C-alpha cells in the first residue's frame, strides 16, 4: 500500500521505516528541510538502536522516501498518518494540537480518492472528531475516514515494539477503514498479533489509559521503595514478590528516581486535564503526577545525605543523564531536576552519558562532560548512577575507588548489590534497600 507519514520524530520515522519494512511504499514528510536532507543522506535525527540500518535498507530497496512537501504523497496515499508532536501546552498541561490540526488542513487540500487519515500521535479523546470536522469543512465532497491508531513504542526498543506489538489498536466508526487498516498490518498476521477494533474515542483513551497506568505502576513501586527504606525491607524483592502474581506482572516495577521521557510526563498531564474537563477527575493519576514530580526533586537530597548533608565545594560524578538507557532523549529526565539542585546546593557536577551529552549540553549549565564513567568518577566525592546504561553495569569497582576522592556511591537504579558494595569498601546508598 502507499503510505504518507507526516512527521519524522521518534514516532513518525520509526513507524514509517517499519511500514516500509512491512513491504509498503512510504513517504516520510517533514517541514524541516535540513532534517529531510540529512535523512536522504542516511543521517538519523535521533538515536534509536537499529534505525539507521532499517532506514538505509528500505531506501535502498525503493520503499522509503523523504519529502518536505506532503501534496504528492497524500494524493497518492491509501493511508495518511499524522505523527507530529503533541507537546504539553505551556503552563496548563493540555496537549498542544496545533501541529496536528495544521497537518489535517494540509491533508484536506490534497485528498484524492478514498483515503484513511490516521492519528498515530498521542492525541486527547475527541481529537479525531475535530480532525474530521476540519477536513470536512475544507473538502465537503472528499471521501475519507479519520482513524485512531495509537503507538505503544518505548524509546530504545521502538523498532521491536512496532514489529512485535502486544496488540494493534484501531479506533474507527467507518467500516470502509477496516480493510485498509487490516491490509496495513497484514505482515503481523504470522505473529497472530491481536488487532483490536474499537470506537475512535475509545482508541484515543486506550493510549492515555495505558501510559497513565504504567506511570502509576512505576510510582507505586517508587513509594514502596521509600517505605522499604523506612521499615528495613528490600524493594527489589518486594517487586519480585508481587510481580510473580500474573495479575500484577514483573514489568515496570523497577524503583528509581522517578519516570521521565517524552510521553509519561506529558500524557499523564493531558489525561488529568481531559478528565477534569469532562467532569470526571482521575485522582490516581493526579497523585501519580504530584508524587513523581516530588520524587525527582527529592533525589538531590538523597545524594546530599550520602555526603553527610552538605555538598558545598564537593564534586559529584554523575553516570547517565538521559531519561532511560539506549536513547539520546533528555526530555523530562530526572537529571534535569537533580543536577541543577545539586549545583544550587554548592556542588560541582561532572557527568558522562554514552549518547545524551549533546542534548544535555543544551539543557544543563556548568556541567563538565566527561568521556567515560571512570573520568566522571575521577576526583569525585560521590558517584551517582542516574541512568542504567549497560556501560555502567560492570564497572571495575577497585579502579573506581582509587579514582574517587572518597568511596561514596549513590545508585538510583539499583544496578549494584548493597552487600557487594560494602564488601568493596564503599559507602553505598540505593533505592528501597537498607
Supply the residues annotated as catalytic: 263
Stretch that binds ligand UDX, among 70-78, 188-196, 248-256, 276-284 (CB under 6 A): 248-256
Please provide residue 171's backbone torsions phi and psi, each rounded to the nearest 5 degrees.
-110, 115
Euclidean distance between CA atoms 162 and 160, whole angstroms: 5
Are 95 and 130 spatial neighbours (Cβ–Cβ below 8 Å)? no
Compute the least distance from the CB of residue 133 to ligand UDX, in Å.
27
Cell numbers 501534496: residue? 71
Give the interface size with ligand UDX as a residue count (CB under 6 A): 19
Q: Which range binds ligand UDX by CB under 6 A, 68-76, 80-88, 146-154, 375-383?
A: 146-154
Q: Which of residues 177-236 bind ligand UDX (CB under 6 A)?
A: 211, 214, 218
Q: How far is the CB of 168 from ligand UDX (least distance, A)?
A: 13
Nearer to ligand UDX, 144 or 259 (CB): 259
Beta strands 168-171 and 195-198, pairing class: parallel
Determine which helix (DSSP H) or strand (DSSP E) holds 197, and give its type and residue range: strand 195-198
Among 236, 254, 315, 350, binds ligand UDX (CB under 6 A): 254
| 324, 348, 352, 433: which one binds ligand UDX (CB under 6 A) | 324
165 in contact with ligand UDX (CB under 6 A): no
Q: In a 10 Å sphere around its CB, with 0-12 CB exposed, 13-18 middle and 19+ buried, how is residue 298 labelled?
A: middle
- Outline where 61-125 has alpha helix (H): 71-76, 98-110
Residue-wise over 389-426: b if at least 16 C-beta within 10 A, else e?
beebeebebeebbebbeebbbbbbbbbbebeebeeeeb
Nearer to ligand UDX, 212 or 317 (CB): 212
Smallest gap from Cβ 12 to ligand UDX, in A, equals 13
Question: Segment contacting ligand UDX (CB under 6 A): 109-117, 177-185, 249-257, 355-363?
Answer: 249-257
Chosen residue from 144, 220, 323, 392 binding ligand UDX by CB under 6 A: 323
In whole angstroms, give the CA distance from residue 244 to residue 260: 26
Question: Where along the sequence are the contacts to ligand UDX (CB under 6 A)?
Answer: 151-155, 211, 214, 218, 252-254, 256, 259-261, 263-264, 323-324
Amino acid at each position: 500500500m502507499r503510505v504518507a507519514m507526516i512527521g519524522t520524530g521518534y514516532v513518525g520515522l520509526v513507524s514509517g521505516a517499519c511500514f516500509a519494512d512491512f513491504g509498503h511504499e512510504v513517504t516520510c514528510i517533514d517541514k524541516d528541510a535540513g532534517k529531510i536532507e540529512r535523512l536522504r543522506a542516511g543521517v538519523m535525527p535521533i538515536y534509536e538502536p537499529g534505525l539507521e540500518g532499517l532506514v538505509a535498507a528500505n531506501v535502498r530497496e525503493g520503499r522509503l522516501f523523504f519529502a518536505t512537501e506532503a501534496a504528492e504523497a497524500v494524493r497518492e496515499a491509501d493511508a495518511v498518518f499524522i505523527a507530529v508532536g503533541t507537546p504539553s501546552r505551556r503552563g496548563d498541561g493540555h496537549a498542544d494540537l496545533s501541529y496536528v490540526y495544521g497537518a489535517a488542513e494540509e491533508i484536506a487540500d490534497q485528498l484524492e480518492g478514498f483515503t484513511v487519515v490516521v492519528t498515530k500521535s498521542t492525541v486527547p479523546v475527541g481529537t479525531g472528531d475535530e480532525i474530521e470536522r476540519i477536513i470536512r469543512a475544507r473538502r465537503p465532497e472528499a471521501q475519507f475516514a479519520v482513524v485512531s491508531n495509537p503507538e505503544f513504542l518505548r524509546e530504545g526498543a521502538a523498532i521491536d515494539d512496532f514489529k512485535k506489538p502486544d496488540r494493534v489498536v484501531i479506533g474507527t466508526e467507518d467500516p470502509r477503514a477496516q480493510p485498509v487498516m487490516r491490509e496495513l498490518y497484514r505482515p503481523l498476521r504470522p505473529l497472530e498479533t491481536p488487532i483490536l477494533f474499537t470506537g475512535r474515542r475509545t482508541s484515543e483513551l486506550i493510549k492515555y489509559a495505558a501510559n497513565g497506568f504504567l506511570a502509576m505502576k512505576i510510582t507505586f513501586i517508587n513509594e514502596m521503595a521509600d517505605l522499604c527504606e523506612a521499615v528495613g525491607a528490600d524493594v527489589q524483592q518486594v517487586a519480585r514478590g508481587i510481580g510473580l502474581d500474573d495479575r500484577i506482572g514483573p514489568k515496570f516495577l523497577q524503583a528509581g528516581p522517578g519516570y521521565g521521557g517524552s510521553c509519561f510526563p506529558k500524557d499523564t498531564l493531558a489525561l488529568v486535564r481531559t478528565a477534569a474537563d469532562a467532569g470526571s477527575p482521575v485522582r490516581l493519576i493526579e497523585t501519580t503526577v504530584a508524587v513523581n514530580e516530588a520524587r525527582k526533586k527529592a533525589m538531590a537530597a538523597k545524594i546530599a545525605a550520602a555526603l553527610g548533608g552538605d555538598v558545598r565545594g564537593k564534586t559529584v560524578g554523575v553516570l547517565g543523564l538521559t531519561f532511560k538507557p539506549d536513547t539520546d532523549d533528555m526530555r523530562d529526565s530526572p537529571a534535569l531536576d537533580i543536577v541543577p539542585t545539586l549545583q544550587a546546593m554548592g556542588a560541582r557536577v561532572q557527568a558522562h552519558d554514552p549518547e545524551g551529552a549533546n542534548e544535555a549540553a543544551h539543557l544543563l549549565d556548568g556541567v563538565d562532560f566527561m568521556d567515560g564513567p571512570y573520568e566522571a568518577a575521577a576526583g569525585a566525592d560521590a558517584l551517582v548512577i542516574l541512568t542504567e546504561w549497560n556501560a555502567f553495569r560492570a564497572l571495575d569497582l577497585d579502579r573506581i575507588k582509587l579514582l574517587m576522592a572518597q568511596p561514596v556511591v549513590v545508585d538510583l537504579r539499583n544496578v549494584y548489590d548493597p552487600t557487594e558494595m560494602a564488601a568493596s569498601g564503599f559507602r553505598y546508598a540505593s533505592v528501597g534497600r537498607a
